[in-house]
Structure 1
Amino acid sequence: MNTEIGSLSIPPASLYSFEVICATLWVLVVNEVIVPATGTCFANGAELTELQRIGIGRFLMIFAMAIAALLEMKRLKSVQEGKPLSIVWQLPQYIVIAGAECFAIITQLEFFHGQAPNSMKSMLTAAALLTTALGNYLSSAIITLVAGVTTDVRCLNIWQRNKENSRRCLKTLPIPPALLRSKLWRSHLLRRRLPYPATAGFAASPSPFLRHLSTTPTPTPVTSLASSLASALATLSTTPPPVTSPDAYFFLHFSDVRPTNALLTEALSLSPPSTSRAAADLFRFLVRRRSLHPSDCALAVVVHHLARRRDFPAVRALIQEFPSALGPATLDAYLLHLASAGRPTDAVKVFDELPEQLRTREALTSLVSSLSTEGFPSHAERAVKKVANEIFPDDNICTLMVSGYANAGKLDHALRLIGETHRGGFQPGLDVYNAVLDCVCRLCRKKDPLRMPVEAEKFLVDMEASGIPRDAGTFRVLITNLCKIRKTEDAMNLFRRMGEWGCSPDADTYLVLIRSLYQAARISEGDEMMTWMRSAGFGDKLDRKAYYGFIKVLCGIERVEHAVKVFRMMKGYGHAPGVKSYSLLIKKLARHNLGDRANALFREAVARGVTVMPGVYKIDKRYVKAKKEKKVKKRLTLPEKMRLKSKRLYKLRMSFVKKPKRRMLRA
């Protein structure tokens, strides 16, 4: 080739310096132009991942080798024509290969650094660079192999200077691009088998060989990575916050994370409510830089976390920033938290501002359910009447509003709404009447508990007159309210009469009766009711929460021995006791002067990994055995002995004196 450019002579070996300059420029172009451009091109604002950048670099390498092969063909043809090409023609392939190195090699170093355990990052980064040396050895082996299998003598030294113009050896030039394509597919298959740091919600899991060499413990699944994200959220929420911005902080520590909805949910569940703004920044980072799709489920998790802190401006800003992700789950969480925060007007305003495609019957049902559940049925009724021409209320919406009035204790409004429902052509269901019956019972419990059976019977008669039969929910309401006014025997009689109406008790009825029997100190009947509950097929409802309720009731009536029995029963059925169960029993055993058993229970909790805080408990005086003091006879003095002797003699003399009889006096 012609190595002269004007009056300058360019040595061929100096072209490598041009590649270094091009790689430096490529780094600036990629970081300042290409990566931000991908964030604006994709709909979710995500950027290229590491594996995508490595793939782009591999294809650029193939393209560069193809350019080199075509240029070599052109060069040999020009030599035969006597018109050598200029060395400037080699610069385009160096520009392309510099871009390939920027995409593939630099990102590969970052990829290896992120995959490695903390104690092996330097070694594995060096191993990544070792692949370059192995590639050089592989290229030498390819040259030797080609030279060995080629029969043409002119092809023995294809890359040597004295044979650089051999045309017969042109057939071997497509070999490097073909090998590079095979390397690309081999790397793709290897990376498919390589566990990515957060694929499907799991942290990076090194190979058994690397795990054997590493001094750090093996990374755990999603919980380990979620804990790291939760710690980062807590760090960003401290006062004062870190100097770096949240986006830069997340990119520095979690640039190799492949996020999922499960990982985001776990991380936010481990984070305190004070990390609300940092959670919003994390969601933006995962969407824009780590290719998390802003779906309805993912946004609902973040909205729920923000609303726990009552940070509704941040929720509103996040919904405005990602309007395409707003769906039923996000809307349910937003409306429910607004209603629970005592902002029914804001909840109605959010519904009014919804776009046309989201103002559906399901959204209106969600609004009515949220407002009625949190005690704002009047706001729900006004919202329904406002959009009645657009969305006509159905049975479900009417049931929710009546139940909301009944739960709020507004019996007159509930009965009024039932009448309007009848006039509108709807027949309220059993759930509506059961809610109103519960309202009647609660009002009677507040004013006059003795009148509750009478008033409940009147309402049941009205139900039968309207053609509404009793069901298991009706009996559950009656039994629950009877147990709350300590009429356990009446509740048991009603329980036995359920079969006459063709009803079978449900799990909630059994649980209420068991607690009431234990509260009334009818221990054996409570155990028998628990056996009946399992026989009826509701054994799965006897979970850890139910057992803790039984233990709490038994400890409240000072039946600690039976509480320990129920505790053992809970463990026997495979329910692991929690902190509350252990703490309650340890406290009660210590107060009952059973310190040895309390210490044994504490050691059991520590062995099971339950974090029970040790404490000092005061023993109840009723359970302290009083020590019997031995009476020591006092040694009397001589005057005391004479005084006692005189008393005995006086009593002896008086015993012989005849006492006069008392006569009855006549009036």
Structure 2
Amino acid sequence: MLKLKFNRFLPLLTPHRMQFQCLLSHKYSTTTPTSSQDLQKLCEIVSGGVGNLDDLEASLEHSNLNITPEIVTLVIDYCKAQAPNRRLLRFFSWSRKIPNCDKLGDGTFNQVIQIFAEKKDLMAMDILISDLQKEHRSMDSKTFSCVVESLVKSGREDEALRLFKNLDKFNCSKDRISLSVIVHALCSKGHARMAEGVVWRHKNKIPIEPCIYDSLLHGWCIHGNVKEVRRIVDEMKLLGICPGLLSYNAFLRCICDRNVKFNPSALVPEATNLMMEMRTSGVHPTAISFNILLSCLSRTRRVKEAYQILQWMKERGCSPDWVSYYIVVRLFYLTGRFGRGNRLVDQMIGEGLIPKARFYHDLIGVLCGVEEVRCALEMFERMKKSCVGDYGPVYDMLIPKLCRGGEFDKGRHLWDEAVEKGITLQCSSDILDPAKTEVFKPKGRAEKGSLEDSRRVVKMQKKCITNVKRMSKKKASSA
């Protein structure tokens, strides 16, 4: 009956009310018309009312609505994304004082805490957790996970540890789930030493799951301590736990990042040794593993080693993906090896590997950045042959670049081509007008040569002045 009543006026509903009607029809199809009207009015007061919090509570008091625990739950669920946090908190605090709702279930309480934890409203979350403890309510594992993650992400890991220690006061047991939650949250932000202390204190009471060791390994990798990561890996092997591909990739990234900072020449030897260890453990490196090494080689501009690793992947039976080719081709372009980069792109396409549009977008951006617009146009032609659609960002990049370089004819040609394809361009048509576009031409070799010549002349003048001073000193001493 209620559903038919709402469908009758559906064309008159705003999107805000349509969402309310959809929520009501799905979750509370058995709600009476009176309670549905109360529910709608409550949602309007909480989410769309005016005035301060005291005015909100006064409006709720004078509404004379029939408030039930079910309606409170539905209002919170509906208004969580629309109502301001403080209005939602004041409504929940007010509803707990109503005689019909003085016995709200623990589920509703936990639901509200989860909402404020997801919104990162730590003050509201602390207030509700304190009330939860005072009223001797139970905190479920999902709420504990949301609260701990919010605290750790906000830099309050000490409070997260304190909450874990006092779980008994919230009628929540310390088990494998809660231990894995606190360890994972701490390690996700690099607090591996703190997480390892928690594991050490509870290892005799709670069995340690393999996922906890994986979290510790990732935590030390985020921290950047290679020695501690090696220690965790050795402990896992002693316990018969084989690290997975994700753990080994995290270890590989940790080693490569350290070598990028301190010893770039050790990148390939140490990475290949770890990959050999992976194979002996039954974990075969994938293209993602090699891409970690290739990206670090690219950061240190080690062109020869990066190309050798790309060929070594094929010899080892690990087919490179488009990301692998992108890293090496980008390195070629950044170091001025445009011919080798183009040949490598043609080789990739010849092998039947069709990259995504992002591959061409980024490479064309790199070529424009190093003032190789001609190569960028050639890359765009390759993109048209092997990739369908998503040309708009490339046109928006190339047309201004050509016009600011003085090549207005080519820019006009690309503009007309985009219009014929029905592509909406973000750049303005004023860029095609030479009277409105300022031309910036890169410095040529002649200018660079003249600058070097002037520097040589200055050096020769300084040498002549020093020689004259020396000769004058010698004449003065001889006299």
TM-score under structure 1 length normalisation: 0.45
Secondary structure, counterpart of 2:441 in structure 1:
helix
Residue 471 of structure 1: how far off its partner (Å): 4.0
**What displacement does 1:336 show?**
2.5
Q: Which residue matches 1:192?
A: 3
Identity of aligned residues (%): 21
The alpha-carbon distance between structure 1 residues 301 and 592, as it changes in their structure 2 partners (threshold 3 A), is: farther
Contact 2:176 2:206 in 1 (8 A): yes
Q: How do 1:312-331 and structure 2 match up within 5 A?
A: 312-321=122-131, 326-331=139-144
- The CA distance in 2 between the partners of 1:609 and 1:220, in whole Å, is 34
Deviation at 1:593, TM superposition (A): 6.0
Deviation sequence 1:187-223 (CA, Å, 0-9, x none): xx2x221338xxxxxxxx8345x68xxxxx8878549
- Structure 2 distance, partners of 1:610, 1:284, is 52
Structure 2 portions without partners, runs of 5+: 24-42, 66-70, 444-479
Find 1:557's aligned residue among 359, 367, 370: 370
Following superposition, the deviation at residue 335 of structure 1 comes to 2.2
Aligned equivalents of 1:352, 1:500: Cα separation in 2? 53
Q: 1:428 aligns with which of 243, 249, 268?
A: 243
Question: Who is 2:202 aligned against?
Answer: 387
CA distance, structure 2, for counterparts of residue 259 and residue 413 of structure 1: 49
Question: Hey, what does 1:61 align to over in structure 2?
Answer: none
Residue type at the aligned position of 1:302:
F
1:200-219 correspondence runs (5 A): 206-208=9-11
Q: Find 1:359's aligned residue among 157, 170, 174.
A: 174
**Alpha carbons 2:360, 2:380 under 8 Å: kept:** no
* Distance change in 2, residues 1:373/1:440 (3 Å): same
Q: In structure 2, which of residues 289, 292, 304 is the aligned counterpart of residue 474 of structure 1?
A: 289
Within the alignment, does 1:342 sit opposite 2:155 as a pair?
A: yes
Deviations 1:62-93 (A, max 9, x none): xxxxxxxxxxxxxxxxxxxxxxxxxxxxxxxx
- 1:277 aligned onto 2:83: no
2:212: which partner in 1?
A: 397
Alignment of 1:364-383 (within 5 A): 364-383=179-198
In 1, Cα distance between the equivalents of 2:335 and 2:95?
A: 56
Cα distance, 1:315–1:511 mapped onto 2, change above 3 Å: farther
Q: Contact 2:400 / 2:427 at 8 angstroms: preserved in 1?
A: no
Tell me if 1:447 matches 2:254.
no
Q: Over residues 422-455 of structure 1, what are the superposed CA-to-partner deviations in whole Å (9 max), with x where a residue is unaligned?
A: 3334333343333222222111111131232233
Indicate whether 1:494 and 2:309 are aligned. yes
2:239 & 2:415 partners in 1: Cα distance? 66
442 and 298 in structure 1: CA distance in 2 versus 1, 3 angstrom threshold = same
Is the partner of 1:194 in helix, strand or coil?
Answer: helix
Task: Quote the residue 2:476 is aligned against.
Answer: none
For residue 370 of structure 1, report the CA deviation from its aligned partner.
1.9
Paired amino acid for 2:116: V
Out of 204, 225, 229, the residue aligned to residue 414 of structure 1 is 229
Q: Name the counterpart of 2:114.
A: 300
On the 8 A contact 1:480/1:512 being kept in 2, the answer is yes
Q: Distance in 2 between matches of 1:330 and 1:533?
A: 51
How far apart are 1:403 and its partner, in Å? 2.1
Instruction: Give the alignment of 1:530-541 within 5 angstroms.
Output: 535=353
Q: Equivalences for 1:568-579 in 2 at 5 Å?
A: none
Q: Aligned partners of 1:420 and 1:413: how far apart in 2?
A: 11
* Partner Cα separation in structure 1 for residue 157 and residue 350 of structure 2: 44
Letter in structure 2 aligned against 1:342? G
Task: Report the Cα distance in structure 2 between the residues aligned to 1:252 and 1:611, rounded to whole angstroms.
Answer: 53
- Contact residue 187 and residue 215 of structure 2 kept, 8 A: yes
**Which structure 1 residue ranges, 5 or more long, are not aligned?**
1-188, 197-204, 212-216, 269-274, 625-667
* One-letter amino acid of the structure 1 residue matched with residue 125 of structure 2: V
Contact 2:113-2:125 within 8 A present in 1 as well: no
What is the alpha-carbon distance in structure 1 between the residues aligned to residue 424 and residue 92 of structure 2? 33
Q: Deviation per CA, 1:349-375: give whole Å up to 9, x if none.
A: 222222454533233222222221211
Q: CA deviation at 1:397?
A: 1.0
Equivalent position of 1:622 in the other structure: 441
Could you report, residue by residue, the CA deviation over 1:585-616 in whole angstroms, capped at 9, with x for unpaired residues?
7875775568987x979x99xx9999999999
Contact 1:510 1:529 in 2 (8 A): no
Deviations 1:2-26 (A, max 9, x none): xxxxxxxxxxxxxxxxxxxxxxxxx
Picking from 296, 300, 309, the partner of 1:485 is 300
Q: For structure 1, which segment, 452-461 or 503-512, has the greater mean C-alpha deviation from structure 2 after superposition?
A: 503-512
Could you tell me how far apart the structure 2 residues matched to 1:582 and 1:501 are? 39
Give, in whole Å, the separation in 1 of the partners of 2:348 and 2:196.
42
Deviations 1:507-554 (A, max 9, x none): 764664565566557564675588589957xx7xx487x777556545
Q: Which amino acid aligns with 2:52?
A: P
The answer as to whether partners of 2:256 and 2:267 remain within 8 angstroms in 1 is yes
Query: Matched residues in 2 for 1:410 and 1:434: separation?
Result: 15
Q: Which has the higher contact order (CA 8 A, sep 6+)?
A: 1
Question: Structure 2 vs 1, CA of residues 395 and 195 (structure 1 numbering), >3 Å: closer, same or farther?
Answer: same
Partner of 1:245: helix, strand, or coil?
Answer: helix
Equivalent residues, number: 393
Distance 1:223 1:511 in 2: 48
Residue 281 of structure 1 and its aligned partner are, at CA, apart by 4.2
Q: CA 1:467 to 1:576, structure 2 compared with 1: closer, same or farther past 3 Å? A: closer
Aligned partners of 2:399, 2:352: CA distance in 1, in Å?
Answer: 28
Secondary structure, aligned partner of 2:6: coil
Deviations 1:93-120 (A, max 9, x none): xxxxxxxxxxxxxxxxxxxxxxxxxxxx
Counterpart residue number, 1:662: none
Cα distance between partner residues in 1 of 2:201 and 2:94? 40
RMSD across aligned positions (CA): 5.7
Distance 1:412 1:258, change over 3 A: closer
Q: Tell me, yes or no, if the aligned pair for 1:518 and 1:526 is still in contact at 8 Å.
A: no
Structure 1 pair 448/582, CA: closer, same or farther in 2 (3 Å)? same
Amino acid at match of 1:333: C
The one-letter code matched in structure 2 to 1:399 is D
TM-score normalised by L of structure 2: 0.60
Structure 2 vs 1, CA of residues 432 and 623 (structure 1 numbering), >3 Å: closer, same or farther?
closer
Q: CA offset at residue 419 of structure 1?
A: 2.6
SS class of match (1:368): helix
Query: Aligned partner of 1:360: which letter?
Result: D
Distance 1:591 1:252 in 2: 67
Partner Cα distance (2:221, 2:178) in 1: 23
CA distance in 2, matches of 1:481, 1:609: 37
- Any conservation in 2 of the 1:296–1:328 contact (CA below 8 Å)? no
In structure 2, what is the Cα distance between the partners aligned to 1:589 and 1:403?
46
SS at match of 1:622: coil
Q: Is the 8 A contact 1:421 1:427 kept in 2?
A: yes
